[in-house]
Amino acid sequence: MRRWIDRWNAYWFPESTTVPLALARIIAVAAQLFWFLPSLEEQIHRLQRNSEFIEPQLLIRAISAVVPGEFFSPPVFTALYWITVGAGVLALIGLFTRVSLFVLALGIWIQIAHLYSYGDRHHTQAVFCLFLMALAFAPSGRSLSVDALIRRRHARRSGKTGAEPERIDTALWPLKFAHVLLAMTYFSTGASKLIFGGLQWMNGYTLQKYTFSDAMHREIPLGIWLAQQHTLAVFLSIFTILFETFFFLSLFFPRLAPFFFIAGIGFQTGLYLTGGHDFFQHITLLFILLITLTPEYWRVRVRRFFEGFRWGRQEQARQPL
C-alpha cells in the first residue's frame, strides 16, 4: 500500500518551480477574459425572454434553493458579470491571486450554468472551467505576479532574503488534473464511436456524412471539399479513433505527451476548419500543457537548433573564399 501511495504522490505532487503554473494561470485567465467570456447580452436576453428555466443545472438549482428569486434578474447578472471581469483582471496580474481566481471561476461557472439551464447544452467549456477552479487551490500567484513582488518587498524590508522555495510539490497538480480530464474526455468520445459505430465508423463514409452536413450548414468550403475525398476521410477516421482512444497513454509515457498534445491541437483545429466545431478551450488547454508539462522536450529542441545553427556557421567559416 505504501508503494502505491508513493507512486500516487510522485505523479500528482512532483517537486517543481511555480513558473509553469504561473504561465498556465496567465494564459488561461487571458483566454477566458478576452476569448471565452460568456456574453452579458445573451445572459440578459434569456432572463428577459424566459420566466422560468427549462432544465436548470445543478449549480442553478443550488443557488435557487438558497438565494431569493431576484438573483436571476438583469441587474444582478450585470453586476455578476463585471465582478467576474474584475476578478479576472486581478487574477491575470496576480493580485490576491487565489481569491481572484476563485471568484473568476465561480462567476464563469454560474454564467455558463445559467446559459445551459434553457435546454441548450454543450461540453466545450467543462474541462476548462474545472481547470480554472483548480488554479484557485494551487500556488498560482507564487511567481510572475504582483503578489510575488509584494512578498519580496516585504521580505527585504524585514531584513529577510525573501526567497521562495525553489521547488515545491504543489505546483503541478492543476496541470496534471487538466491532463487527466482531457484523457477521460477523449477516451469517452473514442470509446463511444467504437461502441455505437464499431469498426464501420472508420470506413470513411461516416466522417464524410457528418463533415458534409456540418460544412453545408455552416457554409465551410474546406469541409465540403473534404466530404468528397473518401480516401482522405478513411485516413482521418482511423487517426481520430487512434488519437481519442489512446490519448490516455500520454499519462503513463511522458515522452509521448508532446506528440499527443501537438496532435490534439491539430485535431481540434482541423475540426473547426472543416466542420465549425469550436473546441477552442481544448486547444488552449493542450497548448498550456504542451509548454508547461513538457519543458524538457522544448529545451532539447532549442539546444539542438542552436547547436545546428552554430555548426552551420562554423562550416561556412571553414569554406574557402
- pLDDT beyond 60 at 98: yes
Q: For the residues 130-145, what does the mean pLDDT come to? A: 96
Query: What is the structure's pLDDT at 201?
Result: 87
Please report the pLDDT score of residue 186 as a whole number.
96
| Residues 119-130 pLDDT 10s | 877 778 999 999
In the predicted model, what is the mean pLDDT of residues 187-202? 90
Q: Where are the alpha helices (DSSP H) in the chain?
A: 2-12, 19-34, 40-49, 58-66, 74-93, 97-115, 126-136, 146-157, 173-197, 205-218, 221-226, 230-246, 249-252, 257-275, 280-292, 295-318
pLDDT value of position 306: 59
Name residue 73's amino acid: S
Q: pLDDT category, 70, cuts 50, 70, 90?
A: confident
Q: Could you tell me if 76 and 70 are in contact, meaning their C-beta atoms sit under 8 angstroms apart? A: yes
* pLDDT of 316 above 70: no
pLDDT of residue 307: 60
**Which residue type sits at 109?**
W
**pLDDT (tens digit, 9 = 90+) per residue, 35-68?**
999 999 999 999 999 888 989 999 999 998 888 7
